[in-house]
Structure formats: structure tokens, C-alpha cells
Structure 1
């Protein structure tokens, strides 16, 4: 048994000793039944949030109004949530009211898919009132109850179906697929950050192509920021393993899409990665191997090689070999970036007895190129000698000579 279940079982038995019931629930039970990796464990109970806080010494309130308390056991956090039912979802995102209940089946009934509506007790016996195990055995994604009702409650579930299809390589039941298409426009009500999280997981799944085909078949892409501007053929043309790579390739195919990227509210790090991939693909045919090796980090070069290998239409001439040569050259470069130059702006200002300005960048760029191409050793004193011999500075004007 996985150690998270073993540790979590302390919570279940503690609840039982105080007269309450506790169960493992949701995705962890599904993954346990399927023999998949367990990353986290959720627990549900008939104990109210106040009871949970009273029973356990180390707790964190992360959503008491919704019934969720984090319980720390042996420094491991477990989300413990009170059995609950939910009222109408007028905004297609969250219930208007959460109602606590003493009935486990009522709690399981509100969940999205039958494979996620299973619980497991402290003897590790699975409780499966909605035939989740049968759905798993048939590799089928089906909603608990009517699909239209589940998707009207929380529109994100529509996208989660596509994500699970990629992650688990499951088919989607006909009723669920039909309801996905009928309610696709409700995705407009979902916070973009939540949609991006699901899309990120879809691309990290075992079969993102399967998930993408489902997205197109049910027209989910027409109601997702950025993707609503990508035609179906271009969307299905790419074979990638991350959302970032998908976005980069789509912009590479249609540069005007770059102006739609901000709608996804991505982090600066992700946007930087996408920009670097696009820049690399745009210049790979014209830049030298040394320029590519110096201009891009190892991860960008390696990912671009993999993308070209997976998407044969990207291979024009010898792009992959060109990038591989750049990747091989990178460890042998005299400097990794400009910060490693053994001279800085302060030294230049002292040398010329001048104030700072753009001229410093001009000189350091020239020095950088000399070092990069092996014409100058990255040694402070040799760099100063080179600057004295090749840089003319007068009244703020700079000139680099060849002498």
C-alpha cells in the first residue's frame, strides 16, 4: 500500500475513534485501483470543519466555508473535506450554496465522473455506488448522472473530460461527448487560469493527440482564449508534449496569433520560453551554429530538436542537424553569456574616465563577439589591451576599429 494511504489512514482511524466516518476519495482511489502513481490523497468525512479542527492538533483552514481543512500528519498535508451537497451553479463555476451532509453517497453523487466518484475506507475496501470500477475496466469516461447537469454545474468539467482522455487514454461515453459539445460555450464563464491548468495537464498526458481530437470534435477550442483564433487543421497538425510548445508552434505558423497570447494570462517564465522557441525557429535557417549555441540555453535547443523530430513539416534542409551541432558546441563555448566577460562597465568608465551610457554596451558587445569567436581570451588584462587598441572614445562618441 502506498505510504500516503498508510499515513492518511491515521486520519481515518482517528476520526473513527471520535465517532465519525472518514474515507479516501476521488482521484487517489481511481489511481490506486488502476495501479497508477499516487501524488496526493484526499479524504472526506461526516465530521464538520469545526470537529476536524478540534480533533487534530495541526490543521490549516484553507476553505472552511466549503468544508475543507488541511490536516498535517507526520508533516504531510491531507485535505479533509466534510461530506457535502451543492445547490445550483448560477455562474457555471461554483455552487451558490454548500450544504453539509452525513451521507457519503450524496457527497459522491455531486462529483464529475464515475471513475472519480469512488471512496475507500480504512480497510482499503472501495465503495463504488456509481460503477466507477466498471467505467475504468471499459476505459470509459462517463459523468455521474446526467452529463448536461454535471456540465451546467461546473463548465470546467467539460475540459477535464478532454484532459482525462489524454492522461488515461480513455474514450468518452456518447452521452458525455454529446453534452460536451452542447455546453461547450459555457467555457466562456470559466476563469482562464483554470482552463490553462487543465490544458497544461492535457498536454502532459500519455496521449495529448487524443485529447486534442476530442477538443476539436466537441468544439471546445472555439470557446478557449487564443485557441478560438486557431483553425482546426493547424491545431491538429502539431504533435507536442506541452502547452507552451503548442502555443509556440501555432504562433510560428501564424505570427499574428502573438497578440492573442496575453489572453491566457501566462507567467513571465512561460512567455519567455515561448518567445525563445519562436525566435529560434525563426532564425535557425540563417544563424550560424555558434550563434545558436550562444544565443539559446540547452533546454531550448533540446526541445526545439524534439519538436522538429515530432513534426516533420518543420524540417527544412538540415534544421535538426544544425541545432544538434549547436547543442554539442555549447559546453565548449568560451563564455555562457555576457555576464561571464571578465570586464564590466565600471572598469570601462575608469579606463576612459567617462560617465556611463550606451557606449558601454557597444564596447562590451564588441568584446563579447571577439571572445565568442575565439579571437580574444576572456582575461581582464587582455580585454583591456584589446579595448585600448580597438576602441576610440571622444566626447561620448565611440568607434570600434579593426587595427
Structure 2
């Protein structure tokens, strides 16, 4: 039996919980991701504990517990202001709609508890003395850099269809391959993904696209065809699926240079062939929040506006670019430039990027709130009721200041309004 020679600090802090359970005759071990990451030498995110003690026995042993999920055997035990999930060994009944077990039964055997887990690399345990317990070969799979289901892959995916996305996620996270039997079972049962809520699909995609190898994740998603079987259609996924159908390599290595998951989504959704309305419908289907969708769609809309004007002369391109910055925001423009630079030779505006970066840096202001005059001041100056004329006038002034053709001072702005009034009898 292998032993951990140096238990990570995060797990050492939880050892008193294991010790208390052991002292009262209950088996208790670390399980799941914390064990996997310890074996791989990675930083720990969460520390989970499994035990032969029932939830009631756990609650009786510790001063402060939170009944996180008693029906599933989980109690959160507070230790030095840190919460640790302690879950009773269990086995699960038939799964309802390929997603959740109809019921759970508490058991006393660790091996049987680990059998219900999805992947071998997530089905390892560590005892209080550092000994690893690995009945299903998780350590071997880590050494071989492969993802494999615990036991029968077909059974695991039929029990919980989300496990198919999790298999892809862990493969991309660690740059592991998926073993043949697990891959074959995934392809056979991929239509079961329609039983998974779109919020859960989004959560897994966020981890894949925001992970260390989004290009590999995209290739796995394309090759598996999983995104064609979601509960609600993802229209933008057709581009990835079409490339996979043609056996084309998905050229997305540049995504790793982008520093946020939402900018990576924007990069994917501005690829050739993805229409803005498809991008928007995809974000809606994924239950993306309004704030995240707004950020992503601003980049996408700016991109398509520029694509429509890419044959313009330099001066007209400058005006078009500055107008787009004012419409969609400096942040969206900076993110679009980041995507374009990362994409490199594949990007249609590659030759224009230095000038566009310079033009952006030269913009004194980029929003109405930075203008030296507001609507109320403008209305008071003309002794006129607010109306649509006010917003249009402020936008015209903003563009002139952003283009560097007008100083951002109240005096100069009002003089420009006077000139317009003289020309048209209207500000």
C-alpha cells in the first residue's frame, strides 16, 4: 500500500476530525479531489471526508455542525472556522432520469462507497496515517495519464449523464486521454445529455473553457459530438461539430493566451461561421447571467460591426473603430484586441491592430459620463425640455471629443452646440 510522505497543510488541518471519528470506532478517510490532487502534486481546492459513521453519529461528536445534505448523508463539520463536508459511506439506488438516485442507503464499506463514483482518479481515499486506498486503479491511471470510469463505463453514464461532460472536463484539465471503453460508452450514450439541466452544462463548460487547455476541451467536445445532445440547442456549436465531421483539426491553441473565461467564450463565438444571433441564443440556452452575456455580446457585436467595415480606408476605419468603442465600451474593445492579437495570423484585422491599439490609447474619453457636460446642463443652457434631441446631441459631442476634434471642456462643447444651432436652427 502506498503512503503519502507529506500530507498537504489543508488536509493536516482536518486531521482532528478524522481522529475524533476514529477514536469513537468509526472509519474516516479523505476522499475525492483532494486525494487526486495530492497524488498529482497539485494545490488543493476542497477537502472532503467520508466515514462509516451515520450523519446522526457525526452530529453527536462535534460541537458545531451544519446539516448540509442529511438526506444524502452529508454534514458540514466546522473546524477552526473552516467547514469540511463529512459524508457517510453510501450506495445509491436506481437513478431517476439518468441524473439523480431515487434514494441512498448508508453502508459501512469504503470500497463500495468508492464504486459509486465517476472516474478512477476521483475514487481514491487516504487514511489518517497517509496510506492511500485505491481499489480501482486511480493511481495507475494518473501515471498513464488517462481518464477511465470506475467499473462499467456504460453503467456510470446511464446512472448520471453529467459524468460524460465531467470525463471530458478532467481529460482537458490534466491533458489526459480518455480510454477506449470509456470513450465508446460516452459515444453510445451521449443522447442522455438531454436529461442534464442547462445550468449544469454551463458549469462544466465554464471549467473546460476556463481551464488550462481550452483548445483540447474544444477538440474533445467536437469529437464526441456531445453538444448536439443538450436539453436545449446550442446553435453556435454547429461550427465545432461541422469541423469534427470533416475531420478537421480545431485550431484553438490561442485560447490559452486569453486570461478570462468570458473572453475565451467571446473568442469561440466570433469564429468564422458563427452568427451573432446564434451566439446570443447559445448564451441564453446556457443560462448565462445577464452581466456575463452583456460582456460577451459586446465583444461579439463590436467584432461583427468591424468585419462589415473592414474594407474602409484608414481614416474611415479609424472613425468606425472609435464609433464602435463608444457604442460597446473601452473594455469590450480592449478584449477584442486581446483576442485578435492572440489569434495572430488567423485574424482578419492582423495588419490593422497596431493602429487600432494606438487609436484606442489616444482616446481622451469613451463614455458620456466622462463628457464635461451632461443632459441637464445642456437643457438648462437652451432652456428647453429634455427629449431625444438631448441624447443625440451628447453623442455627437462625445464622438468629436473621442476623435480629437473637440476639447472636452464645457465652454468648447457649448460653442459647438451653438454652431450646430446656427447651421440648422436646432442644437
TM-score after normalising by structure 1: 0.88
Residue 115 of structure 1 contacts residue 136 of structure 1 at CA under 8 Å; is this kept in 2? Answer: yes
What is aligned with 1:343?
373
> Equivalent residue for 1:195?
201
Q: Does the alignment pair 1:143 with 2:149?
A: yes
Please give the alpha-carbon distance, in whole angstroms, between the structure 1 residues aligned to 2:102 and 2:268.
Answer: 35
Equivalent position SS for 1:391: helix
Displacement after TM superposition at 1:205 (Å): 2.9
The answer for the alignment partner of 1:399 in structure 2 is 426
Partner residue in 2 for 1:308? 340
Q: Does 1:377 find its partner at 2:407?
A: yes
Measured after TM superposition, the shift of residue 302 of structure 1 is 4.5
Match status 1:114 vs 2:128: no
Q: Pick closer, same or farther for the CA change 1:335–1:252 going to 2, 3 Å.
A: farther
Whole-Å Cα distance in 1 between the matches of residues 168 and 354 of structure 2? 34
Work out whether residues 330 and 366 of structure 2, in 8 Å CA contact, stay in contact via their aligned partners in 1: no
Where does residue 387 of structure 1 map in the other structure? Answer: 417
CA–CA separation in structure 1 for the residues paired with 2:299 and 2:426:
34
Give the aligned partner of residue 241 of structure 2: 232
- C-alpha distance 399-323 of structure 1, shift in aligned 2 (>3 A): farther
Partner SS, residue 92 of structure 1: coil
| CA 1:123–1:187: 2 relative to 1, 3 Å | same
Distance 1:139 1:259 in 2: 37
RMSD, aligned CA: 2.7
The CA deviation string for residues 263-298 of structure 1, in whole angstroms up to 9 with x for no partner, is 222111222122122222223325425445555556
Whether contact under 8 Å (2:64, 2:78) holds in the other structure is yes
Q: Distance in 2 between matches of 1:40 and 1:157?
A: 19
What secondary structure does 1:377 align onto?
Answer: coil
Whole-angstrom CA distance in 2 between matches of 1:258 and 1:217: 21
Shift of 1:147: 0.4
C-alpha offsets along residues 122-151 of structure 1, whole Å, 9 cap, x if unaligned? 222211111110111111111111001100
The SS at the match of 2:170 is helix
Shift of 1:43: 1.4
Question: For residues 328 and 65 of structure 1, do their structure 2 counterparts lie closer, same or farther at Cα, with a shift above 3 Å needed?
Answer: farther
Query: Does the aligned pair in 2 maintain the 1:229–1:257 contact within 8 Å?
Result: no
Alignment correspondent of 2:385: 355
Alignment partner, residue 249 of structure 1: 270
Q: What's 1:271 paired with? A: 293
1:392–1:154 CA distance, 2 compared to 1 (3 A): farther
Instruction: Point out where structure 2 has 5 or more consecutive residues left out of the alignment.
Output: 1-6
For the residues of structure 2 that align with 1:361 and 1:298, how far apart are their CA atoms? 20
Q: Can you list the C-alpha shifts for 1:163-214, whole angstroms capped at 9, x where unaligned?
A: 1111111111111011000100000110011111111212233333333333
SS at match of 2:84: strand
Alignment partners' CA distance in 2, 1:66 and 1:116? 18
SS in structure 2 of the partner of residue 386 of structure 1: helix
Stretches of structure 1 lacking an aligned partner (at least 5 in a row): none
Instruction: Give, in angstroms, the shift of residue 97 of structure 1.
Output: 0.4
User: If the length of structure 2 is used for normalisation, what is the TM-score?
Assistant: 0.83
Look up the match of 1:128.
134
Change (3 A) 1:258 1:172: closer
Which residue is 2:30 aligned to? 24
Tell me the secondary structure at the aligned position of residue 49 of structure 2.
Answer: strand
Instruction: Report whether the alignment pairs 1:84 with 2:90.
Output: yes
